[in-house]
Structure 1
Amino acid sequence: MAALIPLLKAAISSSTWPLVWVTRSIDGTLGILRSCKKAKTVKRVIHTSAIVAAYPINEHGQLKEVLDESCWTPIDYIKGKDGFFGMYAVSKTLAEEAALRYGTEEGIEVVTVLVGMVGGPSLTSTIPHSIPVMLAPLTGSLPLVHVEDVCSAHMFLMEHPSAAGRYVCCSDPITVTDMLSFFRKRYPEIPLAFGNEEEEDKWKKVAVRISSKKLSDLVSYKYDMEEIISDSIECAKQMKVL
């Protein structure tokens, strides 16, 4: 934890975020890992991270062409983002860094899954918030993945002998423009809350390719974009949101 203090200070400098918002995420993650080490029966831990921990930007503030496991959200950049997105991205990034570092130092296998925007049916009483959608206006891309594919990926990585490091979990990366076009054709009766031509032209210019090759080389995703969105809309209709 001591090694993370400088990063935490950088994350909240010139910001109104309470330090506790970020430290709770890290402390909770490390608390679970310490319990696993104490039990002496746990070989591997699958840590659910989020694709917001892999914001594809270089040291010059320019978007990279590809978002993959090599991308780490730069704290100095993201700390300038106000509101919940900035806090969430910082907490997920630092918690994942802490988990991987702890695993290396303490001899526990830690595998992290960077989950995209999860769609499909829900067992909760309210519509889940899929925070990575906030990346869309910035990258022009949407990292879609069905909730059942997320569960399958976790189980596979838990059992696969050579699983290690980070894995982007995104079955069907699409552009914002593609998604809006799908909505208009498949659900013309549902008015779009956003997505005018000016916005779409902007997103076309900055679209980043999202790569889940490391994981897709090992497992096959069951659901594509149409099924993910359709299942999500049906879920919203059942919960009277649409």
Structure 2
Amino acid sequence: MEGLEGMAVEGKRDQGSPTTTTYCVTGATGYIGSWLVKALLDSGYQVHATVRDPPKSLSLISMWTGSERLRLFQADLQEEGSFDEAVKGCDGVFHVAAPMQFSILANEDIDSYVQSNIIDPAIKGTLNLLKACLKSKSVKRVVFTSSISTITAKDSIGNWRSVVDESCQTPIDHVWNTKANGWIYVLTKRLTEEAAFKFAKENHIDLVSVITSTVAGPSLTLDVPSSIRVLLSPITGEPETFGILSAVNARMGSIALVHIEDICSAHIFLMEHATAEGRYICCAQNCQMSKLVQHLAEEYPCSNIRSVDKEDNQVPPEISSMKLRDLGFNFKYGVQNIIHETITYCLEYGILPPAK
């Protein structure tokens, strides 16, 4: 795979109307990144896709129609200047690449280890990318992929909010102190997004962030995306991912969901909407844990599905995407559609055995 940087990828032409608008997508071999590349190519855009591990991109090339408009670049967020060529000449950049580490083995000084080995490199990588955008002189907007992990449905005294919006950020000190399941990912996303907005403000970069809820639906990747593993953990019984799902439910009072197609559409929508600014929650629908398990059981009947107690509170906090909807964005998929397509994908690819 030598010579990958800047390499044009030959492929069949799609039926979209080609445009000279060029977008860069970091983390193109990940769940959201790979689907976002597909969506952009299907819409006729020129795409610069960055990959850290070139062999992982080979299986995706055949799924990306319109790939004569695609250029692949090998880049590493930890290497300053590594993204200069990838973003050169681009109109906008989608920063999707991010570490997906939820836990580590016991360490005597766990806080120091997480800060120096996980959080600091994630921040450095994002700032390296933003510096490349400054150098390019062509990038008009950066869309940053954030996470619902940066949000909490509880107020400062621990009471449930009725409506959760972009201002309801997870307190950093609380995450360090409690270390709930998935806490490393929560901190990494929260602190990286904060650093990105600070750098963008100081350097006059137009930065918008998409706060993704639990993303599911079909996948283009060879590995099962972590968000799908978390969503299906009541079926699979994986202790770590079920613990993460439970921690999300404890923090949010429900599970917020979005289809992979909708989350990519939202990224593109926010890239191109002139008045978009700041942070946007992207949640098609949220439902309580007991209701989620019920939906899973209806779609995939099995005797060993994890049971959960029905919540006392019948109305969970609303995870609001009003700010995004007010701009004119519409979601295509609801909870039942999302679960149906996720289970169908997992059955087709042998990730789940046929339901008995």
* Pick aligned residue for 1:182 from 280, 289, 295: 295
Cα root mean square deviation, aligned: 2.2
- For residues 121-200 of structure 1, the aligned pairs below 5 Å read 121-130=218-227, 133=245, 134-188=247-301, 190-196=302-308, 199-200=309-310
**Mapped partners of 1:93, 1:181: distance in 2:** 31
Which one is further off, 232-241 or 168-177?
232-241
1:216 aligns with 2:325: yes
Q: Secondary structure at the match of 1:232?
A: helix
**Mapped partners of 1:32, 1:205: distance in 2:** 44
Change (3 A) 1:81 1:237: farther
**Mapped partners of 2:303, 2:132: distance in 1:** 49
Residue 174 of structure 1: how far off its partner (Å):
1.6
* Pick aligned residue for 1:201 from 302, 307, 311: 311
Change (3 A) 1:225 1:192: farther
Residue 24 of structure 1: how far off its partner (Å):
1.5
* Larger helix share, 1 or 2: 1
What are the ranges of 5 or more consecutive residues in structure 1 without an aligned counterpart? Answer: 1-12
TM-score (norm: length of structure 2) = 0.59
Change (3 A) 1:240 1:80: farther
| AA at the equivalent of 1:70 | S
Is the contact made by 2:150 and 2:190 (CA closer than 8 Å) also made in structure 1? yes
What are the ranges of 5 or more consecutive residues in structure 2 without an aligned counterpart? Answer: 1-108, 231-243
TM-score (norm: length of structure 1) = 0.85
Change (3 A) 1:192 1:104: farther
Q: Secondary structure at the match of 2:310?
A: helix
Change (3 A) 1:68 1:119: same
Count of residue pairs the alignment pairs up? 226
| AA at the equivalent of 1:75 | I
| AA at the equivalent of 1:173 | N
| Structure 2 equivalent of residue 3 of structure 1 | none
Is the contact made by 1:61 and 1:77 (CA closer than 8 Å) also made in structure 2? no
- For residues 1-242 of structure 1, the aligned pairs below 5 Å read 15=111, 17-19=113-115, 20-82=117-179, 85-130=182-227, 133=245, 134-188=247-301, 190-196=302-308, 199-201=309-311, 204=313, 207-217=316-326, 218-242=328-352
